[in-house]
Amino acid sequence: MKLLLPILLAIGYGLLMYRLSVWRTKRQLDANSTELADPILNQLTRQMAGALDLPRIRVFIYEIEPVNGLAAPDGRIFITRGFYQKYRNGEVTADELASVIAHELGHVALGHSRRRMIDFSGQNALRMVLMMIVGRFIPFIGIWIANILTSLVAARMSRSDEYEADAYATALLIKSGIGAGPQKSLFTKLERLTKTNAGAVPAWLLSHPKAQERIAAIETLERKWGQALRGA
Ligand SMILES: [Zn+2]
């Protein structure tokens, strides 16, 4: 019991921290977002909702600068003001922004967004719990081990999630008549933007695998599904 109690306390504290950060994130999103009101984009989300047999897809603009898209566990999709501005400036097309919405919808549909909250806001809580537990048994290098374990879990989780969300988006974009073209052109565009801005990587790319590998994965799916459709 003497050994167990501190561990239970550490886990309890970690869970509390995690709940708190999820709650803070949700409040932040609620307070700083407004529903998307662009007629062209709304038409595209209606097309995607139709393909999914959903009454509607709720998309919001989140008032922050970094170019990013997020999915809340309750199914709402958020596009940052910075990303939306790129669309308004003509740097990103409506179809390309729709591919971001489709990708984020994939995270919701595949149940990633609930897990991703850990990635998003609670990763420190996990690290801390591990640090307290591992550090108790292995002094000094315990912190180092906890850090490695945390980043291993996070990296594995996000990499496979991204490919799955991409595949979902490819299928949805094809089914709703938008096609996978914009999904691929956006990756190329964002990567180019990264280079011209001298290392200012859009957050949406930073948290995701390499653009070239993602494009290749989408093309494999297009070929596979194309064959299946022709065969049918
Ligand atoms: Zn993603």
Structure pTM? 0.76
Cα(103) to ligand 1 centroid in Å equals 6
| Of residues 91 and 115, more confidently modeled | 91
pLDDT of residue 195: 61
pLDDT of residue 229: 61
pLDDT of residue 41: 97
Cα(76) to ligand 1 centroid in Å equals 14
DSSP-H helix ranges across 118-231:
123-137, 141-175, 181-196, 203-206, 211-231
Which tokens in the block code for residue 211?
Answer: 């653009």
Q: Which of 20-34, 74-88, 110-124, 147-161 has the lowest mean pLDDT?
A: 110-124
The torsion angles phi and psi of 61, rounded to 5 degrees, stand at -95, 125
Confidence at 198, pLDDT banded by 50, 70, 90: very low
Cα(107) to ligand 1 centroid in Å equals 7
Cα(144) to ligand 1 centroid in Å equals 28
Cα(102) to ligand 1 centroid in Å equals 10
Cα(189) to ligand 1 centroid in Å equals 17
Which segment, 36-40, 67-71, 148-152, is predicted with the most confidence on average?
Answer: 36-40
Cα(100) to ligand 1 centroid in Å equals 9
Rounded distance between C-alpha atoms, residue 99 and residue 89, angstroms: 18
pLDDT of residue 28: 83
Q: Is residue 201 pLDDT above 60, yes or no?
A: no
* CB-based contact 218:166 (threshold 8 Å): yes
Cα(181) to ligand 1 centroid in Å equals 18
Rounded distance between C-alpha atoms, residue 50 and residue 41, angstroms: 14
| Of residues 181 and 113, more confidently modeled | 181
pLDDT per position as a tens digit, 105-148: 998 899 886 666 555 545 667 777 777 777 777 777 777 777 77
Q: Is residue 26 pLDDT above 70, yes or no?
A: yes
State which H helix or E strand residue 133 sits in. Answer: helix 123-137
Q: Which of 76-85, 136-145, 209-218 has the lowest mean pLDDT?
A: 136-145
Of 184, 176, 192, 178, which is closest to residue 221 (Cα–Cα)? 184
Mean of the pLDDT values across residues 24-41? Answer: 90
| Of residues 140 and 59, more confidently modeled | 59
Which tokens in the block code for residue 34?
Answer: 């407004």
Which tokens in the block code for residue 204?
Answer: 């949406």
Q: Which of 20-29, 112-121, 150-159 has the lowest mean pLDDT?
A: 112-121
Q: Is residue 18 pLDDT above 90, yes or no?
A: no
Cα(165) to ligand 1 centroid in Å equals 6
Which tokens in the block code for residue 80?
Answer: 């940052």
